[in-house]
Amino acid sequence: MGFKKNLFCAGAFALGALAAPLPDCPDRAPAAGPAALTAATLIAIAPKTESCAGADFPDECADASKAAAALSKAFKTYKITSKGEQAAIIAYELFESGDFKYKKNHFPGRPGQGTRMMAMPNYVEQYATSVAGADAVAKAKAAGGDAGLVAVLALVNSDDEKSFGSAAWFVSTVCSAEVRAGLAAATKDGWNKFLSECVETPADPTRDPAWTAAIANIK
């Protein structure tokens, strides 16, 4: 089919001076990435994301519909196009946020730690600078101490797009090319290296079910 189309395009080009407008004949079809992320996909990965009913902190909870929209925007913004990277980001945020129920650290309650990836304050500040600007961060930090940390976190927890965008920003900004290649390969070894080398936390079997489910359900 591709060979015949190429012949048609070549012929059309050669006769362009005599013919009607040329057909649209791209050199090659664009590579297809994963299908659009949907609420149904997230629910298949983590059934508890279907609803926020019974959430301990209802104002922090996001259901699958809100999460799918925010994550899709983040993947587009940070050019996260591979199934493996998308699966890792989803699994990482699911684990850290308790199936999208939290966006601040409540256990033990570390001031300034949060977003859906539960970023530590130093990364929260870097991310906030990226999405809110250095002036806004400086103003927030002026509160001083824990209050300043909390104020900086508020800059990136102000809406779902920012809060869910943290892990995509982290992968695209902090992780090495080697780690990203491992994630894109969608292998268990790549997932483990992401945790140990980029997140800097030991690979933990309790983190694996969300990743396995994400790999299986993202098409």
Q: What is the pLDDT of residue 13?
A: 34
Burial of residue 28, with CB atoms counted within 10 A of its CB: 0-12 exposed, 13-18 middle, 19 or more buried:
exposed
pLDDT tens-place string over residues 28-77? 444 457 878 999 999 999 999 999 999 999 999 999 999 999 999 999 99
Mean pLDDT for 101-118 is: 97
> For residue range 92-107, what is the model confidence (pLDDT) as tens digits?
999 999 999 999 999 9
130 CB-near residues (< 8 Å, 6+ apart): 169, 173
Query: Cα separation of 219 and 215, whole Å?
Result: 8
Q: Summarize pLDDT for 129-155 with one digit per residue, the tens.
A: 999 999 999 999 999 999 999 999 999
The count of residues in the chain is 219
Task: State pLDDT tens for residues 151-180.
Answer: 999 999 999 999 999 999 999 999 999 999
pLDDT confidence of residue 172: 98
Residue 2 has pLDDT above 50, yes or no: no
Distance CA(219)–CA(199), nearest Å, equals 25
Q: Which residues of 135-155 are buried (b: 16+ CB within 10 A; e: fewer)?
A: eebeebbeeeeeebbbbbbbb
* Stronger pLDDT, 14 or 121, i.e. the higher one: 121
Sign of torsion over alpha carbons 146, 201, 92, 171? positive
CA–CA gap between residue 6 and residue 209 (Å, rounded): 45
pLDDT at 97: 98
Give the tens place of pLDDT for each residue, 76-85: 999 999 999 9
pLDDT given at position 32? 58
